[in-house]
Amino acid sequence: MSKVDESTTVVIVGAGVAGLALGNFLLRSGINCVILEKRSREYVEQRQRAGVIDTRAARMFREWGLEDRVVGGVPTEPVLNFRIDGETRPLKLEADDHRDGRFCPQRVLVRNLIDVFISDGGDLRFDADVSLENLVGDERALARYRDSAGSTRVVSCDFVAGCDGDRGVSRVAVPSGSLTRYSHEYGYAWLTVLAEVPANHQSMMALHHRGFAGQFTRGPHASRFYLQCPLDSSTSQWTDERIWDELETRFGEPMANQGRITSTQLVPLRSVVYDPMSYGRLYLLGDAAHIVPPMSAKGMNLALHDAEVFANAVVQYQTKNDSSLLDSYSSTCLRHVWNYQAFASWWTELVHNAGDASYQGAFRHQVARADLERLFESGSANRLLSEFIAGLN
């Protein structure tokens, strides 16, 4: 039997958006928790990720009394700006659906969540390489980690929240065969480029026969660019000169600002869902349970939804001795996840097929163009898209 150094109600593995939001929700509800993060605080706070908080997530933070303290950035504009074969075509959305959404870089949200959690007395430990034990059976779950002094410590808990992403230790702790993995590979990747370039619009997406390109604001002096490319591409093939040339080609206009490129990364587009999202005392949240392609801008918002569902379940169990929400955690989240996977798959394939016919052929290209035109011309089609993007469906 392991020597236990301390105990708590919930051990949260991972200080990303899901883990930090969950920690803040539990802390505000008087539930003891400890967040254990493998990386340093500096690394976590500088990690580049998504940048959109949808309407549902913004309202969630407001209901928990955290909106003014953690949500930064600027309101999202109710418009999707496209460059289609070199022509600018703004797609206006329902304004009321988007009045609460925010363009908030994930590192800003993470930094604010860390500050609030620590200032309110939360227990957050960085540089903690975790392993998990006793996820099933009569004994309490155990989280074992090495602290900054080099000593191994063991924390016992009632529940473990696995918020450490697709490659973290939480899902690895689940025995093979206990979860069903559903996945879809889209057949292409994005070269993601962070550059010191201010954006003229919050977003601009180019549909071109050479592939998709996008520019999204990441603050007043930075943009995230995306270039669709083959899966066998490598970042070494993409020199700065080639990146700017390809962006100019796909947008069909000169890139007036060509600032310093600070990072490049290749991201294969894929959708993944694990079912169930729990095993014994372990509950999976965010990327540990599901991945959506970045085209949908829903990964961060799905993680926040998981965090709220699990927080409410723990609160109900602790205050009312009622485990019904814990028992239904996976099914509750998966209904929401599959709804967004359906949207993400449709939207990703529509936008890419409408530009590049080489992956799924000329027939799918023409179907995608027809779907896209319907969004511009049909109020009902536009309304449905608006609701999904706002997080209202």
Least confident of 54-58, 94-98, 257-261: 94-98
| Bridge partners for 159 per DSSP | 10
DSSP per position, 244-289: HHHHHHHHTS--S----EEEEEEEEEEEEEEESSEETTEEE-GGGT
Q: Which pLDDT tens digit goes with each residue over 341-382?
A: 999 999 999 999 999 999 999 999 999 999 999 999 999 999
Q: Which of 39-53, 128-142, 225-239, 327-341 has the lowest mean pLDDT?
A: 39-53
For domain 6-77+95-182+271-346, give the CATH superfamily: FAD/NAD(P)-binding domain (3.50.50.60)
The rounded distance, in Å, linking the Cα atoms of 211 and 228 is: 5
* Alpha carbons 190 and 228: distance in angstroms, whole number: 5
CA 10 – CA 23 distance, rounded (Å)? 9
Output the CA torsion sign for 302, 132, 23, 327.
positive
d(CA 221, CA 223): 7
pLDDT of residue 393: 61
User: Domain coordinates of the chain in residue numbers?
Assistant: 6-77+95-182+271-346
Q: What are phi and psi of 329, to 5 degrees?
A: -55, -50
- Contact at 8 Å (CB) between 372 and 350? yes
pLDDT at 277 over 60: yes
pLDDT at 228 over 90: yes
Question: How does pLDDT run across 303-339, given as a tens digit for each residue?
Answer: 999 999 999 999 999 999 999 999 999 999 999 999 9
